[in-house]
Amino acid sequence: MLDNYLKETKIIDFSNIEIQELALKLSDDCNKDEEIAKNVFIYVRDEIRHVGDYKLNISTCKASDVLKQKVGWCYSKSHLVAALLRANGIPTAFCYQRLSCSEYEKGIYCLHGLNAVYLKDFGWYRFDVRGNKEGVDAQFNPPIEKLAFEIQENEYDIEEFYVEPLDCIVDFLETKYESYEKMSKKIPDIKELS
């Protein structure tokens, strides 16, 4: 079953040479899977800019493109995490929450993307590389979960751990929008899962 969470896909293209090199670098001198996972977490959280925070007119989807451009939505950043961890033989899943997206568009909700990693000493552990800023302080400290956002009224976790990113997420990321403003009005919501 865990083998499914090690698969390479079109989006999680971890055989890409740059991803292979970074995966190796981030695992250097690590003795445990959680050390590698923490290095990946810190790298993607801190080195890949979040489109929404920087109001960038660019969207990435495929893990190798996220690494090359050094930018992505939360979903894209989770794709790079999966590629780097799977390249190191660590099972990694995609998780989602339904959160208020009022920072982009008042009164709407949208899906938020994060990851779960299977750690030998802890089992499945969720973490969030969205990127820290004022009011957001995601950390990696298994088994304690410290995600970017605490669930508020009318928000919830989607319980399933997915092998691949959701189709509605990939469609959103691969659509060529003219601007950040247009992208921010089209962020996927749970209704697109039905």
Tens digit of pLDDT for each residue in 109-135? 999 999 999 999 999 999 999 999 999
Structurally, the chain folds into a number of domains equal to: 1
pLDDT at res. 192? 59
Task: Report which of 34, 46, 36 is spatially closest to residue 84, judged by C-alpha positions.
Answer: 36
Q: What predicted TM-score, i.e. pTM, was given to this entire model?
A: 0.96
At 149, which CATH number? 3.10.620.30
Enclosing domain of residue 83 = 2-193
Q: Are 148 and 46 in contact (CB under 8 A)?
A: no
Span 36-80, pLDDT tens digits: 999 999 999 999 999 999 999 999 999 999 999 999 999 999 999
pLDDT at res. 132? 95
Task: Report which of 107, 125, 123 is spatially closest to residue 115, judged by C-alpha positions.
Answer: 125
**What is the 8-class DSSP label of residue 73?**
-
Residue 25 pLDDT exceeds 70: yes
Structure tokens given for 158: 């989607």
Q: How far apart are CA 171 and CA 13, in angstroms?
A: 17
